[in-house]
C-alpha cells in the first residue's frame, strides 16, 4: 500500500494520480467520502432497493446516537485522551431520568428533560476528567473503570427492568417529523426532527475545536502535552472540559435513544463503544490523538452506520454479518494507515 514512489508525491510537477493521492493525504475526510460512495455503489448494484429516499432517512436516524458519541469521542481523542465510558453514562442518564420523570413529574416538558440529561452527563464527565487528571493514569484504564462503576451502579441501585411507560413528552419528541414520504411499496418513511440535534452538536463541536482558545489548547495538548503545558496551557482545565463535553453529548444521546425507542432498557447501548471508535478513526482522526475533524467524524459515523445497515440488503446471511463488518474495518483501517506512511 505504502508505495515508496508516492513518498514524495507532494513535489512539484507530479503526475495527476499522484496529486490526487497527495490531496487525499491532506484531506482524510475525502477518503471516507469515497468509501461511502463505493459501498453505496456496490450495495446498490447488488440490491437496487438501496436507492430509495427512505434509506437516506433510515441512515440519518440510525446515525444520530452514534454521531453524538462520535463527536464527544473526537473531542477527547483530539486532546490525546480516550474514553470508554460514554455508553455507560448515556445508559445511566437515560434510565434514571426516564424512570424518575415518569414517577415524579410525568408532564415535564422535553427541553427541561434534555437539559437534565445534559447536566447529568456533564457531571459524570467532570468526574472522569478529574480522575484522569489527578490519578495520572491512562485515560483508557480510568474510563474502563468508570464504565464498570457506572453500569454497576445503574444495575444495582436504579434498576434492571425494561421500562416502557415512557413519559409522553419524551415519546412525542421522538415522533416529530421533519419530512414524510410514501414509498413505492406503500409504506411510509419518516425523517425524524431529532436528527437536528446531531446537526447542532456537530456545529458546536466544530466551533469549539476551530474557533476557540479551548480548541487550540485541545489540539496543542493532543500534539504534545508536556510542551503544551510549558507553553502555559492548563492541562486540568482541558481534561475536565473534554470529558465534561463528551459526557454532555452522551447524556443527550441517551435521552434521544429513549425518545426514538419509546422504552428505556438499562442494558441498551453497551458494547456500541467500539463501533463509535471505529467511526471516528475511519473519519480520519489518529487514534494516538492530536488530529481529527468534525466533518470527518460525521462521515465516519455515516460510513459505519451504512455498513451496518446494508448487510441484509446485500444479502449477507446473519451468521456472516459481523465477520463482514470486521473485514471491512480492517480493510478501511489499513488503507488509512497507509495514508500516514506516505
Partner 1 sequence: MAILNKLALGALMLGTAFGTSSTFAADQTITTVVKLAGETWFTRMEQGVKEYGEKTEGVAATQVGPGKADAAQQERLIEDLIAKKVDAIAVVPFDPPMLEGVLKRAMDRGIKVMTHEANNLKNTMVDMEAFDNAAFGAHFNDQLAKCMGEKGTWTSFVGSLGSLTHVQWADASAANAEAKYPGMKLVSPKNESFNDANTAYNKTKELLKKYPDLKGIEGGSAVDPIGIGRAIEEAGLTGKICVYGIGMPKDTSRWLQSGAVTGISLWDPKDAGFVMNKIAKMLIDGQEFKDGMDLGVPGYTNMQLKQGPGKGIILTGQAWIDVNKDNLDKYDF
CA angle 215, 218, 221 (to 5 degrees): 150
What percent of the chain is helix, strand and coil (3-state, nearest 5)? 70, 5, 25
CB 242, CB 230: distance < 8 Å? no
Determine which residue in the list 34, 162, 181, 231 makes contact with partner 1, applying CB under 8 A.
Answer: 162
Q: Which of residues 288-317 bind partner 1 (CB under 8 A)?
A: 309-310, 312-313, 315, 317
| Residue 323 near partner 1 by CB under 8 A | no
The piece of 2-10, 196-204, 259-267, 283-291 that touches partner 1 (CB under 8 A) is 259-267
Shortest distance (Å) from residue 46 CB to partner 1? 10
Determine which residue in the list 265, 295, 324, 333 makes contact with partner 1, applying CB under 8 A.
Answer: 265
Residue nearer to partner 1 on the CB measure, 272 or 338: 272
Helix (H, G, I), strand (E, B) or coil at 177: strand
Per DSSP, the residues of 88-104 read HHHHHHHHHHHHHHHHH
| Residue 271 near partner 1 by CB under 8 A | yes
| Residue 187 near partner 1 by CB under 8 A | yes
CB 324, CB 316: distance < 8 Å? yes
Shortest distance (Å) from residue 109 CB to partner 1? 22
| Residue 164 near partner 1 by CB under 8 A | yes
| Residue 56 near partner 1 by CB under 8 A | no
CB proximity list for 250: less than 8 A, separation 6 or greater: 68, 69, 72, 86, 87, 89, 90, 93, 121, 124, 125
| Residue 318 near partner 1 by CB under 8 A | yes
What kind and span of H or E run contains 182?
strand 177-182
| Residue 156 near partner 1 by CB under 8 A | yes
Distances (CA, A) of 93 to 69, 115, 116, 199, 221: 14, 11, 9, 22, 29
Residue nearer to partner 1 on the CB measure, 244 or 264: 264
Residue nearer to partner 1 on the CB measure, 5 or 185: 185
Determine which residue in the list 19, 111, 140, 160 makes contact with partner 1, applying CB under 8 A.
Answer: 160
Residue nearer to partner 1 on the CB measure, 224 or 309: 309
Interaction mask 60-79, partner 1, x per CB under 8 A:
--x-----------------
- What burial class does residue 58 get, using C-beta atoms within 10 Å of its C-beta: 0-12 exposed, 13-18 middle, 19+ buried? middle
Location of C-alpha cell 440535534: 197
Amino acid at each position: 500500500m505504502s508505495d515508496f514512489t508516492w513518498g514524495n508525491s507532494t513535489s512539484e510537477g507530479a503526475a495527476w494520480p499522484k496529486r490526487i493521492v497527495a490531496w487525499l493525504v491532506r484531506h482524510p475526510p475525502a477518503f471516507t467520502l469515497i468509501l461511502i460512495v463505493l459501498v453505496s455503489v456496490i450495495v446498490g448494484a447488488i440490491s437496487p432497493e438501496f436507492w430509495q429516499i427512505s434509506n437516506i432517512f433510515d441512515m440519518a436516524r440510525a446515525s444520530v446516537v452514534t454521531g453524538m458519541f462520535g463527536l464527544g469521542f473526537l473531542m477527547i481523542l483530539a486532546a490525546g485522551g480516550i474514553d470508554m465510558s460514554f455508553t455507560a453514562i448515556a445508559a445511566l442518564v437515560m434510565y434514571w431520568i426516564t424512570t424518575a420523570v415518569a414517577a415524579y413529574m410525568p408532564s415535564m416538558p422535553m427541553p427541561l428533560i434534555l437539559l437534565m440529561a445534559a447536566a447529568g452527563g456533564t457531571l459524570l464527565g467532570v468526574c472522569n476528567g478529574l480522575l484522569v487528571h489527578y490519578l495520572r493514569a491512562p485515560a483508557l484504564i480510568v474510563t474502563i473503570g468508570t464504565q464498570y462503576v457506572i453500569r454497576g451502579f445503574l444495575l444495582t441501585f436504579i434498576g434492571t427492568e425494561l421500562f416502557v411507560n415512557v413519559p409522553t413528552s419524551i415519546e412525542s419528541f421522538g415522533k416529530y417529523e421533519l419530512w414524510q414520504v410514501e414509498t413505492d411499496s406503500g409504506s411510509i418513511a419518516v425523517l425524524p426532527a431529532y436528527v437536528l440535534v446531531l446537526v447542532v452538536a456537530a456545529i458546536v463541536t466544530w466551533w469549539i475545536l476551530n474557533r476557540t482558545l479551548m480548541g487550540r489548547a485541545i489540539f496543542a495538548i493532543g500534539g504534545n502535552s508536556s510542551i503544551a503545558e510549558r507553553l502555559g496551557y492548563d492541562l486540568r482545565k482541558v481534561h475536565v472540559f473534554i470529558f465534561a463535553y463528551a459526557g454532555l453529548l452522551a447524556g443527550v444521546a441517551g435521552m434521544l435513544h429513549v425518545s426514538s425507542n419509546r422504552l428505556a432498557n438499562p442494558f441498551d447501548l453497551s458494547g456500541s463503544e467500539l463501533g463509535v471508535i471505529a467511526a471516528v478513526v475511519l473519519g480520519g482522526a489518529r487514534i494516538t490523538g492530536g488530529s481529527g475533524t468534525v466533518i470527518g467524524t460525521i462521515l465516519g459515523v455515516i460510513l459505519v452506520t451504512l455498513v451496518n445497515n446494508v448487510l441484509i440488503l446485500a444479502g449477507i446471511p446473519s451468521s456472516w454479518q459481523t465477520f463482514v463488518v470486521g473485514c471491512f474495518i480492517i480493510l478501511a483501517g489499513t488503507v488509512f494507515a497507509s495514508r500516514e506512511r506516505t
